[in-house]
Structure 1
Amino acid sequence: MTEYDIAVIPGDGIGPEVVEAAQAVLAECETRYGLTLNYTTYDFSADLYRRTGRKITAADMDEIGMRDAVLFGAMGLPDVRGPEGLELGAQVEMRAHYGLFSSLRPVRLFPGVDGPLKAEKVDMLVIRETSEGMFAGLADEHEPSDESASDRMTITRATSEKLFDVAFSQARARRKRGTPGHVTLLHKSNALRSNVLLEKVFDEVAARNADIGSAKYYIDAGSMYMVTDPGRYDVIVSENIFGDIVSEVAAGLVGGLGVAPSADVSLTHGVFQPSHGSAPDIAGQGIANPTAMILSAAMMLEWLGERRGDDLATRIAHAIQGAVESTLAIGPRARDLGGSAGTREVTDAVISALPPQVDSGRREHVAAAGR
């Protein structure tokens, strides 16, 4: 029997609602397919910090890290900030603590979902580096000032090599299911010294992966191409903050963040969460789109299946992805996709679309880092 211990961090705003939806889908998978998930829930929300001053610690993360994976809702409230003026977000601390250097953010224009472009097909994977880049100095000493402030961007060869190895591995895996098998670096080496090194390492890794096509664009031009010619992209890889921005642009091409899952992974740890934020303005209304969270849960099972050589977990992940695709194609659809369905209605539809049994015929979606 497939059994995993999962840490659950619901977070703030709509986070608990979409996590509950994903767990409902996973519960049905447990019943139908012989999967066992043991959950331990942790509260490190911004709301907890507001009430108690408590935030996630290294000891907390050591404990969480003993679980097989982390299912993360959404965290942060605009009016709750730490002493340095930044919003609370345990996921940032976890990225540093676990060395989660790679955030995998697949986007695809599903049948039944209207995108803002004329393009009939959008299918890309944005890989955002998440342990350094423009976020490297978050733990630096900071003297508050109303006159000046600075952040630092740091790029290292070691992390860049791992990141690009993942990018080319992902492109190779995606090619097996019909994508071009191509990696594009978005960078700014014409103006940033750190990105000169980033580009140099990319060229070296690309040369070692000559079977996979590659390209490089400056981040400004590359962002323009995303909306004028999205078909040129298969796998996109970029520095931390550039990747954060372009992944949300990519999500906008396929219906928005409500259908955009993500996985922050290293070779040993994985945190799975939707790309959207906590959306406190709609929290508690039962109208949040759970699709991205459900797809993130599927990515979690696929990652676990890859790491453990567990074919059942992989097949269940594909079954969930297929159920989501069917639901998006025929409805009901959430409000952010032009429909009128609430969170529960969409969740129930995905559960109803799950097959009675899982088979091995589904195509691969997103492979684990380090394949």
Structure 2
Amino acid sequence: MSSYKIALLPGDGIGPETMAATELVLEQIAMEFSDLNFETISYRAGAENYRDTGVTLPDAVLEGCLAADAVLLSAIGLPDVRQPDGTEVQPTMMVGLRRAMGLHSAVRPVKLYPGAPCVLQNTGPGIDFVIIRENLEGLFASFGGGGMVGDDVATDTLIVTRKGTSKVAEYAFQLARRRSGRPADGKQIVTCVDKANVFRSMAFFRKIVNDASQSFPDIEHNAVYVDAMSLYMVQNPWDFDVLVMENQFGDILSDLGAGLVGGLGLGPSAEMGDDHALFQPSHGTAPQIAGKNVANPLATILSASMMLDWLGERHNDDSCLAAAAAIETAVAEVLAAQMVRTPDLGGASSTTEVAEAVAAAITKTPVTDTSH
């Protein structure tokens, strides 16, 4: 039997509700896959914790995250809970986690499931690409720094290093090797998204991605300027497979991608490092609907699927890989049926009802025999 220690961070707002829904699904997975065991430990961190204690990410919580096999975070931050300088507490916690865990690559799948709403009239052969965002450098390297000259000048510095960019580039090519290629023609291809025609830092970023491509001769690669990519993602999203880019560019384009395939309620994400990984939905805490049991849990549930896939790859665990696929298949079936869906998707179902529907669909998913 495989046993994994999972640190749970339910967070704020709708976070505890979508986390509870995801735990229900993981419990069903543990029942269906008897050779898998999940030891979950829930920790309190985030805006509510800061309001009560003055600390967003307690040392004991960080230690628990570092000791776990994986971290599943729901949503953190509240607009009315701010630090003395007026900023929200969410960035402090997230940047702190990323730096402490060495999470160099943020992964945002952009996948249109049958039955999910789409703003595009033409979806061509389908939408299924992944945005890989460098997670520790770029413009976000200035977090907590920057410069101020009186009340007249403010500066932030964009940082690109060979080491940091090499890590995210290599991860992008490795991921492309695992995928089935872009919907247009099945070609496995990594696209570097940058502004190399203007900035030296971006030209350097592109050069490092090109250097990394030499180790992956089986994977094609090209480059597109970020302004053009914001157009192509809307006009012909099926032409892309894996996109790799600087931190701030990825922060922006990943939300655009979510908007193409049903919104942030269907947007899972992962943050990968050499030794640790964290998984969370792309959406925020939505305090206006917290406690009403109407939040969409599918982004958190799909993030849990990404978590199991990562654990399966890392530990060569076929059962864990099959469990990850079972969750995604179940989510796809629930969306395709168009019967159980939360208000953000045009339905009237509760958070709990959606989670129960996904769990019920998992029981119908064939379980792969991995005992041999």
Same-fold call, TM > 0.5?
Answer: yes
Aligned mate of 1:319, from 326, 331, 354? 326
Cα deviation for residue 309 of structure 1 reads 1.2
Structure 1 segments (4+ residues) deviating >6 Å: none
Distance 2:317 2:86 in 1: 44
Distance 2:29 2:217 in 1: 40
Aligned partner of 1:334 in structure 2 is 342
Q: 1:193 to 1:286 in 2, by over 3 A?
A: same
Aligned mate of 1:351, from 359, 366, 370? 359
The Cα offsets for residues 73-92 of structure 1, whole Å up to 9 and x where unpaired, read as 01111122223433212222
Contact 1:33-1:358 at 8 Å conserved across structures: no
Q: 1:85 to 1:192 in 2, by over 3 A?
A: farther
Contact 2:340-2:353 at 8 Å conserved across structures: yes
Contact 2:146-2:155 at 8 Å conserved across structures: no
Q: 1:264 to 1:334 in 2, by over 3 A?
A: same
Cα deviation for residue 210 of structure 1 reads 2.7
Matches within 5 A, 1:46-195: 46-57=47-58, 60-89=61-90, 90-117=93-120, 118-120=122-124, 121-140=126-145, 146-175=151-180, 179-195=186-202
The Cα offsets for residues 290-347 of structure 1, whole Å up to 9 and x where unpaired, read as 0010000011111111111111111111111110000000031221112221101111
Aligned mate of 2:307, from 300, 304, 310? 300
Distance 2:158 2:312 in 1: 35
RMSD of aligned residue pairs (Cα, Å)? 1.9
Cα deviation for residue 50 of structure 1 reads 1.9
Contact 2:71-2:278 at 8 Å conserved across structures: yes
Cα deviation for residue 61 of structure 1 reads 1.9
SS at match of 1:208: coil
Contact 1:315-1:358 at 8 Å conserved across structures: no
Distance 1:145 1:171 in 2: 47
Aligned partner of 1:21 in structure 2 is 21
Distance 2:203 2:59 in 1: 33
The Cα offsets for residues 141-160 of structure 1, whole Å up to 9 and x where unpaired, read as 76695433222110100111
SS at match of 1:318: helix
Q: 1:357 to 1:229 in 2, by over 3 A?
A: closer
1:238 maps to 2:245:
yes
> Structure 2 length as normaliser, TM-score?
0.92
Q: 1:145 to 1:76 in 2, by over 3 A?
A: farther
SS at match of 1:135: helix
Cα deviation for residue 357 of structure 1 reads 6.3
Distance 1:147 1:170 in 2: 45
Distance 1:43 1:320 in 2: 26
Structure 1: give runs of 5+ residues left out of the alignment.
362-371
**How many matched pairs?**
361
Aligned partner of 2:11 in structure 1 is 11
Distance 1:259 1:63 in 2: 28
The Cα offsets for residues 18-64 of structure 1, whole Å up to 9 and x where unpaired, read as 01110010011112222221111111111221222112155642332
The more displaced of 202-211 and 286-295 is 202-211
Amino acid at match of 2:156: D
SS at match of 2:96: helix
Aligned partner of 1:33 in structure 2 is 33
Cα deviation for residue 216 of structure 1 reads 0.9
Contact 2:43-2:61 at 8 Å conserved across structures: no
Contact 2:294-2:351 at 8 Å conserved across structures: yes
Q: 1:143 to 1:42 in 2, by over 3 A?
A: farther
Aligned partner of 1:278 in structure 2 is 285
SS at match of 1:87: coil
Structure 2: give runs of 5+ residues left out of the alignment.
none
Amino acid at match of 1:287: V
Q: 1:356 to 1:322 in 2, by over 3 A?
A: same
The more displaced of 266-275 and 352-361 is 352-361
Cα deviation for residue 99 of structure 1 reads 1.1
Percentage identity across paired residues of the two chains: 43
